[in-house]
A and B are shown apart, each in its own frame.
Chain A
Amino acid sequence: MTATHDVAPGAGPKRSGTRRRRPLTFDRVSFMVVFLGLPLAIFVIFVISPFVQALYYSLTDWSGFSSGMNFVGFDNYVKLFHDDIFLRAVRNNVELAIVVPLVTIVLSLTLATLVTVGGSGTGTVRGLRNSGFYRIVSFFPYVIPAIVIGLIWAQVFTPGSGILDAVLSKIGLSGFANYAWLGDARTAMPASMFVMIWGGVGFYMVLFIAAIRGIDPEVFEAARIDGAGRFRTAIFLTIPLIRDNVQTAYIYLGIAALDAFVYMQALNPGGGPQNTTLVMPQQLFTTAFTKGQFGYSTAMGVILAAVTMLFALLVFLVNRLTGGSDRKVKVRR
C-alpha cells in the first residue's frame, strides 16, 4: 500500500497530460489487437458482412450455386408484391405480431398482478402466499427449447393419439373426438398462437413481477387509502408505472412473432392447411435452401427486416403518443 503511494506522484503528471496516449509497448499493442481486433473480426465477418451482402443479393437474380448473377434492380421486390403465397405469409406474420404479444402481455400481467398484490388482508398490500411455486412452474417453458415445446404440443393436438381430443371427448364434447387442430384451416393458426403464448407467458410474468416489486409499496398504500379497488389499482397505477417494461416486452414478443419459425416448423413444417400458418421465415428458408433462389429469398429477408423495424418504431411511437416517458419519472426510486 505504501509502495503505491511512493510511486503515485511520479506516475501522476504523465497520466494526467495525455491520459490515453501511452507508449506503444508489446503489451498494449497485443492487448488491443486481441481484445478488440479478434471479437470485431468475428463480428464483421459473420454478422455485418452477411447483412450487407444480403442487401446486394436481393437486387440480383442469383440462384446460388451457379456463378452467374445478374443485377436486376428491384425486380425481386416487385415480384414479391405479386407473390400470393408470400403475401399470405406476411399477413400471417402480422396477425401473429398483433395477437401473440397482446394476449401474452395481458395474461402475464394479470398473473404477475395476482402474485404480487393478490394477497388477502386489508392492511398492507401483500403478495400471494406460496406464490413462489407458481412463479417456478410458470417459468418452466422458458428453459424448454422452443422446438421441443412445438413438438410436445403437436403431439397434444394430434387427433386420435393426442391428449386434447381425448380430454374433450371425456368431458362429453364428442364432436372433437378426432379433430385435427393443426390440420383444419380454421383452428391451425389459433392453435399455433396458443403454443407461442404458452411458451412466452412465464418469462414475461417473471419480468413483470420484478418490475411491480420495484414500485414503492407506499404508492399502493396511498391508492388503497384513497379507496381504489384492486382492479382500478392495476389498471391506473401498476400499468402506467411499469409501462416501459411493457413496451420492451411488446417489442421482444413482436419480433419473436415476426419470426415464429421454430414454432411453425415444429407444428406445421409445410405451412399448415392452405398456408394458414405459413410465415415469412419459412417461405424464405424454402425459397433459399430447397428451391435455390437465393436472390429472391434475400429480398424476402429485407422485407422481413423492414417489417420488424417498422413494428418496433410503431410500438415506440404509440407509447410516446399515449404519454409514455414522462410519467415514470415521478415515482421511480
Chain B
Amino acid sequence: MTTTAGEADVVVRPRASGKRDGEGKGVATTAHIALILWSLLVILPLVWTLLSSFKSTQEILGNPLSLPSKLRFGNYANAWTTAGIGQYFLNTVIVVGSALVLVMVLGAMCAYVLARFQFFGNRVIYYSMLGGLTFPVFLAIVPLFFVLKNFGLLNTLPGLIITYVAFALPFTVFFLHSFFKALPGEVYEAAQIDGAGEWRSFFSVMLPMARPGMASVAIFNFLGLWNQFLLPVALNTNSNNYVLSQGMASFASQAGYAVDFGALFAAVVITVAPVLVVYIFFQRQLQVSVTAGGVK
C-alpha cells in the first residue's frame, strides 16, 4: 500500500519520495504523542479532583498524590447539605431552566418578527441587538443593580431569571434571525390561506421548522447560563438564593479558613459531573451546535 503510493510519488516528484514513507508514520506517531500529552493535561486534574473528593482533609493536606484510603461518601453528604450545594443546585436548575425556556420562546418570537416582517425600525432594532452583544456586561452592571432594585427584583430568583433572559436575548435573536429568514415563504402563505392567524402560523408551522436552529441555540445558551458568574454575584447576594457557580466560589473562599477540603472537592464533582456525563453521551450533537454557534 505504502510502496505503491511511494512509487506514484516518484513519478510526480522523484526527490521527495524516499523519505515520504517514514515521514508519514513518524508524523502520525508524533501527532498521537502530542495529543495524548494534551489529553493527559486535561484529564489528570479532573481525575485528581475525583480522587480527592473521597479523601479526608488530613489525607489531602498530607499527601496529594496518594489514593484515598477508603471511599468517603460522607464528603458528598457534607457538600450537599452542610455547604448548601444541594440548595444551590436547586436554585441553578430553577433559574437556568426558566431563563432558558423564556429566552428561547422570546428570542424565537423576536427573531421571527425581525426576519419575516418589514416595518419601520426593523433594522434599528436588529442592529441595537447586535450592539448589545458587543458591549461588556461590566459596563452595565452598576446601573443594572439599581434597575433591579427599583423593580424590587434585587436578590430574588425572578430578578436573576429576567436578567439572564435579557442578556442571552441578543445572541438568540441574532442566531435565529438567519434561520427564520431562510425558511420558505410559501409554507407561511399556505398557512395563512388555510386560515391560520399569525400566532398559529408561528407556533404550529414556522417554529417547528426552525427546530435544528433552536436546538443549537438552546445548547449554547444552556452552557452560557450554567456558566454565568458575574450577574449572580452582583445581583443576588442573598445566600439562600445563590446559584451553583457563586455558591462554589463562596464555599471555596470560606474553605480557606474552615477547611473541609474533602467536601470542597466533592462539591466540584457534583457541579461538574452531571454536565460532563450528558456531554459524553451527546458530544457529537453538542460539538456540532457549538461549532454552528461559535462560527456565527
Contacts and interface: CB of A to CB of B under 8 A. Distances in A.
Task: Specify the main secondary structure of chain A where it touches its partner.
Answer: helix
B234 A285 contact: yes
B142 A301 contact: yes
Contact of A145 (B106, B162, B229, B279): B229
Interface in B1-18: 1-2, 5-6, 8-9, 12-13, 15-16
A322 interface: no
B253 A48 contact: no
A280 B190 CA distance: 55
Give the 8 A-B residue pairs with the shortest CB-CB distance, closest first. Answer: A118-B31, A46-B166, A50-B140, A120-B28, A53-B143, A50-B143, A39-B110, A27-B197
A118 B27 contact: yes
A148 B245 contact: yes
18 contacts: A27-B199, A45-B166, A50-B142, A53-B147, A111-B35, A121-B1, A128-B35, A131-B35, A134-B38, A137-B43, A143-B276, A144-B275, A151-B248, A156-B45, A166-B65, A203-B294, A298-B139, A308-B135
Interface centre among B112, B229, B248 (most CB of A within 10 A): B229
Contacts, number: 304
Contacts of A217: none
A236 interface: no
A30 B253 CA distance: 50
Given A148-B268, A225-B12, A308 B136 contact: yes
A252 B276 CA distance: 24
A301 B65 contact: no
Interface in B83-120: 106-107, 109-110, 112-114, 117-119
B68 interface: no
B169 interface: yes
Nearest to A288: B142
A248 interface: yes
A225 B21 contact: no
B198 A49 contact: no
Contacts of A136: 280, 283
A143 B279 contact: yes
B169 A259 contact: no
B125 interface: yes
- Classify chain B's interface size: 35 or more
Interface string A202-219: 110011001100000000
Contact of A166 (B64, B193, B233): B64
Interface of A: 3-4, 7-8, 11, 15, 19-20, 25, 27-28, 30-32, 34-36, 38-40, 42-43, 45-51, 53-54, 57, 110-111, 114-115, 118-123, 128-129, 131, 133-148, 151-156, 160-163, 165-167, 170, 198, 201-203, 206-207, 210-211, 225-227, 229-230, 245, 248, 252, 255, 258-259, 261-262, 265-266, 269, 280-281, 284-285, 288-289, 294, 297-298, 301-302, 304-305, 308-309, 312
B181 to A, nearest CB: 16
Contacts of A248: 294-295
Interface centre among B41, B142, B229, B291 (most CB of A within 10 A): B142
